[in-house]
Amino acid sequence: MNIEELASEYVVGTLPLEQRAEVEQRLKHDADLRAAVDAWEQRLLPLTALAEPVTPSQHLWRRIQHTLAEPATRVPWWNLLAVWRGLAAAGLAASVVLATLLLIRPPLAEPSFVVVLVAPQSQAPGWVIQASNNQQIQLIPLGVMQVPADKALQFWTKGDGWQGPVSLGLVKPGQTLSVPLDQLPPLTQNQLFELTLEDSRGSPTGKPTGPIQAIGRAVKVL
């Protein structure tokens, strides 16, 4: 696809997500592509008038104001490419840990999903999650993680297509935790789990704000 085609398909909207992301990366340094995209934006702009205006709900402006009042937030972790790259490597760690678990433990009550949570930088496995049904999971520590006295570990999950992560509560280092999932959709393959370091009472915003301590995805166990 030449620059002109790429720019036109980007602006008209028909590129798939991966290609859209590539274009958006390229736009930062590729002046030719930028010029082509700008020209297409201007050509097609009048078509935005074909969408009927819709009055926003009353609290939308307050939400915007509220966000602006927050200290400049960092990019949420679920939008960080490095995290997703790291998760690929985590798959390898997962298989090692699972193999070990299979060897050293008596057969468990057939967990249908297993997650290995690894440290994002070192990929060192820190926790294992197992679910013997779709409604309850166990978070099992593989060691004792050091947590500063005024901080707490908060446990999160996010399924494909969810708007953002949902809190599963606070976790004490070194302790096995059972979490009911009855308020959430059933567990699915690839569902994301993670632990972040938050204030001692948990994240003030209801979304993860602190650094990720461990992260992994659900794998179905046959």
Size of the site for other proteins (CB under 8 A): 40
Tell me the DSSP string of 8-57: HHHHHT-S-HHHHHHHHHHHTT-HHHHHHHHHHHHHHGGGGGGSPP-PPP
* Helices 17-27 and 3-12, packing angle to 10 deg: 120
Question: What are the φ/ψ torsions at residue 49 (nearest 5 degrees)?
Answer: -70, -10
Give the total residue count for the chain. 222
Q: Between 63 and 220, whose beta carbon lies closer to other proteins?
A: 63
Smallest distance from other proteins to CB 32, Å:
13
Q: Which region among 60-68, 93-101, 191-199, 201-209 touches other proteins (by CB under 8 A)?
A: 60-68
Residue 71 binding other proteins, by CB under 8 A: no
Q: Which region among 10-18, 104-112, 176-184, 199-207 touches other proteins (by CB under 8 A)?
A: 10-18
Picking from 97, 116, 146, 118, the residue whose alpha carbon sits closest to that of residue 212 is 118
Residue 8 binding other proteins, by CB under 8 A: yes
Smallest distance from other proteins to CB 104, Å:
40
Residue 161 binding other proteins, by CB under 8 A: yes
Taking the C-alpha atoms of residue 15 and residue 33, their distance in angstroms, rounded to an integer, is 15
The residues of the shown chain that bind other proteins, judged by CB under 8 A, are: 4-5, 8-9, 11-14, 16-17, 20, 24, 34, 38, 41-57, 60-61, 63-65, 67-68, 161, 163
